[in-house]
């Protein structure tokens, strides 16, 4: 089975995450995609804004109705700093017959050599790169046969952008799935509180 792995803080999950999964699945023939919320990213000095519970709940809502897209909470259960190499090893143990593809944005490759045990990552999984400013040709000594640059335009949306808009009471139409927007509103996440009269956040 060909399994895609899309990790991230998902704080909150947005349509850009879903597009990355869609591009990888369509072009690489993936049987399924695992969405893996991290507990804490090693290369970020700040903790996630929303709790692990809320982030997992939002990912689950974003994946509703997509049978081949699954939430995997092993990094949240493990706690502490989330290392991709360790997660891929755990997935290989859990699914020994699967062939893994790690789905990343092109911008993430700028720091790939700083990732914990990055050579082991390329042994455990091939990279599925969604173009975002860095191409596979920029990767120097990294094995090109293990790296697939996907076709398609990335969506210019980020979780930071979504959080900022919500904190300012601005709507986020088309930036997050409607079910996620409704959950954020109900829970009052990211300083959204109750929407202003006559305004919707979804």
Residue-wise pLDDT tens digits, 89-142: 999 999 999 999 999 998 887 788 889 999 999 999 999 999 875 444 455 677
Instruction: Taking residues 10-37, report their average pLDDT.
Output: 97
State the pLDDT at residue 140: 61
User: What are the boundaries of each domain within the chain?
Assistant: 2-190
State the pLDDT at residue 110: 78
State the pLDDT at residue 24: 97
Q: Among all chains, which residue has been given the structure tokens 């293990």? A: 146
State the pLDDT at residue 153: 76
State the pLDDT at residue 139: 58
Q: Which residue has the higher pLDDT, 148 or 143?
A: 148
State the pLDDT at residue 106: 84
Residues in Cβ contact with 105 at an 8 Å cutoff, skipping those fewer than 6 apart: 20, 129, 130, 132, 154
Q: How far apart are CA 168 and CA 195, in angstroms?
A: 10
- Rounded to two decimals, the pTM is 0.90
Is pLDDT of 40 > 80? yes
Residues in Cβ contact with 46 at an 8 Å cutoff, skipping those fewer than 6 apart: none
Architecture of the structural domain at 2-190: 3-Layer(aba) Sandwich (3.40)
Q: What are phi and psi of 156, to 5 degrees?
A: -80, 70
Is pLDDT of 198 > 70? no
pLDDT in tens, 41-82: 988 778 899 999 999 999 999 999 999 999 999 999 999 999
């Amino acid at each position: 089975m060909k399994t895609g792995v899309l990790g991230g803080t998902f704080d909150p999950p947005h349509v850009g995450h879903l597009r990355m999964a869609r591009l990888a699945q369509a072009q690489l023939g993936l049987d399924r995609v695992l969405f893996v919320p991290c507990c804490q990213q090693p290369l970020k000095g700040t903790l996630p804004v929303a709790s692990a519970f809320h982030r997992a709940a939002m990912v689950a809502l974003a994946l509703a109705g997509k049978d081949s897209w699954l939430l995997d909470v092993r990094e949240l259960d493990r706690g502490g700093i989330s290392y991709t190499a360790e997660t891929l090893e755990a997935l290989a143990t859990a699914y020994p017959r699967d062939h893994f593809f790690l789905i990343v944005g092109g911008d993430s490759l700028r720091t790939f050599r700083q990732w914990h045990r990055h050579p082991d990552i390329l042994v455990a999984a091939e990279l599925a790169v969604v173009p975002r400013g860095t191409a596979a040709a920029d990767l120097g000594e990294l094995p090109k046969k293990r790296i697939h640059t996907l076709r398609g335009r990335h969506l210019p949306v980020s979780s930071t952008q979504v959080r900022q808009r919500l904190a300012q009471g601005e709507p986020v139409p088309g930036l997050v799935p409607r079910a996620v927007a409704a959950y954020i509103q109900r829970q009052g996440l990211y300083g959204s509180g109750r929407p202003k009269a006559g305004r919707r956040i979804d």
